[in-house]
A and B are shown apart, each in its own frame.
Chain A
Amino acid sequence: MRRLSWLVPTFYILFLMLPIYWLLNMSFKTTNEILGTFTLWPQDFTLDNYRTIFTDPTWYTGYINSLIYVTMNTVLSVCVALPAAYAFSRYRFLGDKHLFFWLLTNRMAPPAVFALPFFQLYSAVGLFDTHIAVALAHTLFNIPLAVWILEGFMSGVPKELDETAYIDGHSFWSFFLKIFVPTIAAGIGVAAFFCFMFSWVELLLAKTLTAVDAKPIAATMTRTASTSGYELGLLAAAGSLTIVPGAFVIYFVRNYIAKGFALGRV
């Protein structure tokens, strides 16, 4: 039985790849072929869909916008979460448990609840339709997540490390930046990966907070789908391209993904 067990993950991966294959397949077809015939692979192989995306600014600026606010959000979330996670993992202070739980509840807040008030809030402070607005809005669920993951990783580092450093004459910041941060580099990588991931895949808030200048690729896709009828090939090509950044970052954290999902607590 053990010898046949490789079949299970193989079939599972096959199941995972099928819809992705279908999307790729569509992206290389012409609209006529998609709607007119049913073919398992492109008969009339074309790169036109991709060409449109890379030459039409309404398409490619969508990718640039998404990458800008995702990067801003990741940097912001991790930088702010680092000292906070350190405080939670090393000290006990007034209201620490309540605060930790309150942070956690924001990870659980359904974006649908916040869509309308966010729109009003960011319009009121004049940030509507900017990258900063989306980056800030996404910190709502990314900061709690980053704090959580980093706290898990930091709790795995023995406290003796801190104490030895102080005895050696390091000041707090010199210890924190030169010794502690390199020690938990893997944890920071994982936290950054998760911030990237959740900011990249979220659409509802990103769509609500933008109109033209900072419109994410995901919103460009939904709008094209509804306005110009059935441009399925184009839609499929745009969808296929959104998989690329994810696949790229997964490769770098492949050995830590599981630990990250377990919030650094395996």
Chain B
Amino acid sequence: MLKIEDLNVHYGVIHALKGVSLEVKQGEIVSLIGANGAGKTTLLHSISGIIKSTSGSIIFEDNDITKRSAKDIVSYGVTQVPEGRRIFKGMSVEENLYMGAYLRSDKDGIHKDLESVFERFPRLKERIKQNAETLSGGEQQMLAMGRALMARPKILLLDEPSMGLSPLLVKEIFKIIIDINKQGTTILLVEQNAKMALGIANHAYVLENGKIVLSGLGHELANSPDVKKAYLGG
């Protein structure tokens, strides 16, 4: 479904991604783990068209999206939940959700999806008119995910959804991710919380200094001694 081949990204003289190749098949959850600064967010931003790559290709469902605009990429069905939620402060919960459906014009469909987001995240419905800035961290993460779902994505790119959340909330968020996946949305998950991320992944990749150093089935990586040592605390 999503195929990245030999992707290189430079920030000025810094070579941020060095020939990254990765594949996500339809219906899967693929996790990408790695330390801070490994290039995880850079990779997601390249897929979303926010950062331009220097070489390599990103193919989504037979479309070459390497050089497409962020807008086109969203309209193909690739939506990102960015790191740190990036909800629109000063706008209400409802307005934030409508921003997710920005490229859609099917009013009935949007309304239906709004209802199903509220079903999934009942707390958002309680706060529908509230300024999104006033939500708690967990609620903001739910809002960011709900907002992305409003685009009706085929693949959802999640960047560090567990960041800054309590262990209990992290569990809840991961349950929701599995649930979204079960309802037919493919997931590419970027995480520092390697244990949780590998636990739910079909396939997983380890990114180190801009390079994929390991890949395999999720449970394989979770049991690999290298990964255990570096990312799972022994």
Q: Do A and B bind each other?
A: no
